Amino acid sequence: MKATTAATVTDRELRELITALLERVGYANADAALIAEGLVEAELRGITSHGTLHVANLVKRTQLGLLNTKPNIRALKDAASSARLDADRAPGFVAAMRAMDLAIAKAKVTGVGAVAVTNSTHYGMGARYAEHAARAGMIGISLANATATMPSPGGTLALLGTNPLSFAVPGDGEEAAICLDMGLAQVTLNAVRDAAKHGRALPAGVAAAKDGTPTTDPKAALDGGFLLPFGGHKGFGLAVLVEVLSGVLSGSAIGREVGSLFVDYDRAQNTGHFLLALDPAHFLEPDDFRAKRDYLVHWIKDSPRAANAGPALLPGEREYAVRRERARTGIPLAKDTAADLAKLARELGVDVPESVAHAAL
């Protein structure tokens, strides 16, 4: 049965609730607010797979000591345009933002700032970090490795995670001119988990059972099965590239060594990240960069369209439209997610906003 949406919640209410919950389990206010902002931003864009459904599990992993509420994030190597950080089991939301801040600072001086992060954890929606660079006038790239869920084409052993990659080009305001944010499987692992939870079949061609045969049964995909890379060998090849930069180069766990977010409660994830900032001013005069960027944007937006195809959309444009609408009208909160938040709030002694309580009914 499909989850129902009972009510809408404002982004402010949701951020304040999540911040309070995380403070109760030991996070400093600034870190709790940073994590909450990342989760709610995903909800605003309609990326529910990276939104508030993670709160209960994040709290659980924190209480088990698998995430560090007071991490000592330190540089293991530091040079003019590069660095490698030990996240000390910090939430990836905190470690990756710290790393991108460092990458931006280096790029302002040298034109390029590249920071690899080891000993980290799930960092949510990767666009958040690439866009952070874009708002500083930089081209931003954010990569992360993840729990192994994908085999090589034709294989029967999960080797690599969906290994998301994100890319953002600065615009003239808060929104990036172009923002690509994608995992390298055809669907997210959370989408498969949600389909199994609510008895929905998967689309054909996105998953395989443990013997490598295609399946639309999400339980078969989760029970030793696999997610399939988009574009076959091309998607897998990109996943290998992300693994090299975020896993091998950072010195973190790689492939099957990366702890599972929702399965391995006896060990830390040791996820790796790679954050890159490029300052266009070190390559082109700012006016020339903007002119070239705008030419590309208009070249795409004004291109001829097939009948009934709709307008040409740049990467990220659809999500920004959803964000503007939800910021105005509220975030539709799934009943089961609202119920989990309300239950957790009661357990931790945090007041439940009326809108969340109503959505949980």
**What is the reported pLDDT for 194?**
85
Residues 248 and 273 in one domain: yes
| Rounded CA separation 289/283 (Å) | 9
Is residue 105 within 8 Å of residue 137, measured between CB atoms?
no
Residues 156 and 262 in one domain: yes
**What is the reported pLDDT for 4?**
44
Entry pTM: 0.94
Environment class of residue 162 by beta-carbon count within 10 Å: exposed (0-12), middle (13-18) or buried (19+)?
Answer: buried
Residues 47 and 111 in one domain: no
CATH of the domain at 349: 1.10.1530.10
**What is the reported pLDDT for 354?**
93
CA 117 to chain centre: 15
167 - beta bridge partners?
141, 180
Residue located via tokens 């990458």 = 103
Residues 110 and 193 in one domain: no
Residue located via tokens 């399965």 = 263
| Rounded CA separation 173/129 (Å) | 16
**What is the reported pLDDT for 6?**
52
Residues 212 and 261 in one domain: no
Q: For residue 39, what are the domain limits? A: 1-63+330-361
| Rounded CA separation 22/35 (Å) | 9
pLDDT digits (tens, 9 = 90+) for 64-89: 999 999 999 999 999 999 999 999 99
Please tell me whether residue 40 adopts helix, strand or coil conformation: helix
Environment class of residue 240 by beta-carbon count within 10 Å: exposed (0-12), middle (13-18) or buried (19+)?
Answer: middle
Count H helices, E strands: the chain?
Answer: 12, 11
Is residue 184 within 8 Å of residue 238, measured between CB atoms?
yes
pLDDT digits (tens, 9 = 90+) for 132-149: 999 999 999 999 999 999
**pLDDT < 70 regions, the chain:** 1-6
Pairing of strands 112-120, 82-86: parallel
CA 136 to chain centre: 20
Domain count, the chain: 4
Indicate whether 325 belongs to any domain. Answer: no
